[in-house]
Structure formats: C-alpha cells, structure tokens
Structure 1
Amino acid sequence: MPPYIFFARHGETEADRLCYLQSQTIDEPLNKTGRTQAKKLGKRLKDQNIGLMVVSPTKRTLETANLIMDIIAPPHVADVINPDFLEINCGSLDGLFYAIIEKTLSDLFNAWWGTSAPFAKRRLSFPDGESFKQIVNRGKSAAKYLLSEISTRNQNILVIGHGNMNAVIAATLLGLDTNEFFAAIYFQNCGLIKIDRNFNGLPRLIIS
C-alpha cells in the first residue's frame, strides 16, 4: 500500500469559539476543547504509521502537533516546521469578528465566505494580506515539498495546518481547481482527511 498524506486542522481556540478571524497575526493557543480534540486525534492516528509530521509555525498548530506526538510517540517520527503551511494571511482583517466583516466589507465577505464563492476568489485580495494568486502559489510550493518527501518514504506524512490552507494544498495534490475545492470541503477543528497519491494511477481523497 502506498504511503498516504494526512491533513488535519489544529484544535479549537477562543477565536474559533467566539467567531473572530485568526490567520497569521492573531495566533491563539488551544482552549480546553481544542486540547481534548488534539488528544482524540492523536489516538486516531496512533496506528497510522506516521513517519513525518509537517507543522505550520503557529501556536495553535504546534500545540496540536505536540499533543498528538505525545500519543503516537514513536522515536522514528520526524517533525518539520514549514511556513508554506501557514494559514492564509488575512492582513488587517485579523482579529475582526466575522459579523463585523460581513457588515463592513460585504463584497469581500461574500467572495470568501458567502454565496458567491467559489469563483469570486480568483479576484480576491485581503487588505494588507495575500491575494488568492499568492495563496495558490504558496499551496503549490507546499504540495511540491510533500511530493518530494513522500517519494522517498514508505511511511505516511501528517500535516498539522489550517482549514483554508489545507484545502488549497490538498486541491493542488489532487489536481483539482482550487476555487471549486474550497466550496466542496470544510475542515472542522482537528478534522482529518487523507490523500492516496496513486490509486490506479490517480490521486484519491479519502475522508477519515
């Protein structure tokens, strides 16, 4: 069986619970629920032959990764902190409640989170943050790194990242239109998917 690439989102933070935006500037630690979620995810992954853990360099992802590592804990698991896996940079919107963004920046809100998604994202640019084109390019870089790593391994890779960026990278690996994939998948906190890179010669998404 070929190695899989697992993608997991970090555990819950107060920003998630209270519904305000956290991307790169705002970086909350896990709350009690988030720590419980991470431990449960670790138990799910304990027997999944994880050989490499790739982690976004934020408090919430690193804490999630550490809690998982405490449970799976084999000495052969390497961990790599890679900034390509950071959440999408939402710039000056970081820290704002979603309700405020919807009220004051309705066009941007609808393009990203509303009914006009997914195709409006092609023109999207966050104020003082990333454009969608930059996001997709970063996703391609992250996907290239994962493909390079998995080509030399017979163990699975686990990515501990963020809901939006995980979707970008997974779409790239699957050869899907990134805009469409955004509309099709949503990562709950500590939500998990895995990708089989070679199912009858084609990549396949497996919902765990």
Structure 2
Amino acid sequence: MQRLFFVRHGMTEYNLADRVQGGDIDSPLLPQSLEDAKKTGICLKDYGLQQIIASPQKRAVETAHLITSQFDQDFTTHYTDDLKEFGYGSWEGSSILLWRETSPDSFYNLRNRPDLYDPSKFGGETYPELIARGSRAIHRSIEQFPENDLLFVGHSITWTTTLLSLVGMDLKDLRSQEPLANTSISELGYAKGKFILNAWNQTDHLR
C-alpha cells in the first residue's frame, strides 16, 4: 500500500493574530515554527521520501524546505497551485473575529456546514471547488510516482476537506474532525483506487 503523508505548514504571524489567511495571502512563520518544521523532518526522515509535493505559498514552501533539510536521501520538490489554501476572497487578511461578528451565518457555515457555505458575495472559493483541485493534485501525484511513498506540504482546510472527501466522508461532515495543528502529520494509505485514513493530526513529534 502506498503511504501518503500530509503536513500542515508551520504557524504564522496571521495564525497567531487570528487573521484570515487563505490562498491569496501569506505571513511569516513564527520562530518556534522553524524548529517545529525541523522536528517534523526528523520524524519523517527514515521513510525515505523522495518526492515532495507542496503548495507554492511561502509558508508551505519554507516549511517544506525545513522538513527536507533533515533528510539524508536525495529528493525532488514539486509545487502546484492546486494545493493552495482555501480562497476567502475579500476576507483575506481580515480579522476572524470581525467575520464571525458581522457575518455570523456565513462564518458558521464555513466552520460547521460546508454544504451550506456560499462565498459568492465576497468572491471566495466553494468547498467543492477546493476539494476538486486538492483531489486532482493528489491523484496526479499518485499517477506520476506510483512506486513511491509521497510527502505533501500544504494547508489546514485544503488537507481537511480533501483527505476526508477521498476516504468517503460527506460534504456536510468535512469539518467535523479536530482541526489540524501546525506542522502536524496526517497519513492516507492508497491501493487499488481506494484511500484509507491511517493517521490524523499527529503531533507527538513536536513535544
């Protein structure tokens, strides 16, 4: 069975400040995140991962670089826009609290009811759109490297919705799992066209 590892980027200044940080914006990693990414690399180094697929956003690129700095083997990193974070339109960079207070229904559906979430008024991305591109990137990588276990480095909502969708969870339930921590590791197994969830939001390596 092919093993697919998924890491969320390290915590950023906007994460700490509770600001909306989606596919069109970035902020620097915090100093602790630099160390956490290296710890993640130490945890993953013995798997012999040679193909890394990552979001091209700065926070993911830097996290991927720090992870692979701990590897002994040769590897290649590939970047794809399909793995960018969820697009929040005009809410990008804004306060999460402001969104919750001024548009409570929209914010509730974002966090709790993906099937009811409608971002059309502020030019955001829908959950089905996000899942389609995230799934496309994963399937494409499997087709390119069928004999390799793979490491993906990206974003919280992209991983949450895409991974749970691939294992068969309904759209309305995709936000029901615990949120992915920064530099956490999740894992899917893949064989004969089917995915299984082997691990979710593992953080023991950060202690």
**1:143–1:169 contact (8 Å) kept in structure 2:** no
Name the CA distance, whole Å, in 1 between partners of 2:116 and 2:49.
35
TM-score (norm 2): 0.88
* Structure 1 contact 112–121 (Cα < 8 Å) conserved: no
TM-score (norm 1): 0.88
Aligned to 1:177: 170
- CA pair 57-47 structure 1, distance change in 2 beyond 3 A: same
Task: String of CA shifts for 1:14-34, please: whole Å, max 9, x gaps.
Answer: 111111111122201211021
1:164 aligns with 2:157: yes
- 1:111-130 matched pairs, under 5 angstroms: 111-113=109-111, 117-118=112-113, 120-125=114-119, 127-130=122-125
Q: Select which of 87, 104, 115 maps to 2:102.
A: 104
RMSD: 1.9
Corresponding residue of 2:16: 17
* 170 and 35 in structure 1: CA distance in 2 versus 1, 3 angstrom threshold: same
1:16 aligns to what SS in structure 2? Answer: helix
Q: 1:136 to 1:26 in 2, by over 3 A?
A: same
Which residues of structure 2 form unaligned runs of 5+? 203-207
Gapped regions of structure 1 (runs ≥ 5)? none
Match of 1:93 in 2: 91
**Identical amino acids, percent of aligned pairs:** 25
- Code of the residue aligned with 1:25 in structure 2: it is D
Matches for 1:63-74 after TM superposition, within 5 Å: 63-74=62-73
User: Which consecutive aligned stretches of 4+ in structure 1 deviate over 6 angstroms post-superposition?
Assistant: none
SS at match of 2:15: helix
Paired residues, number = 199
1:21–1:93 contact (8 Å) kept in structure 2: yes
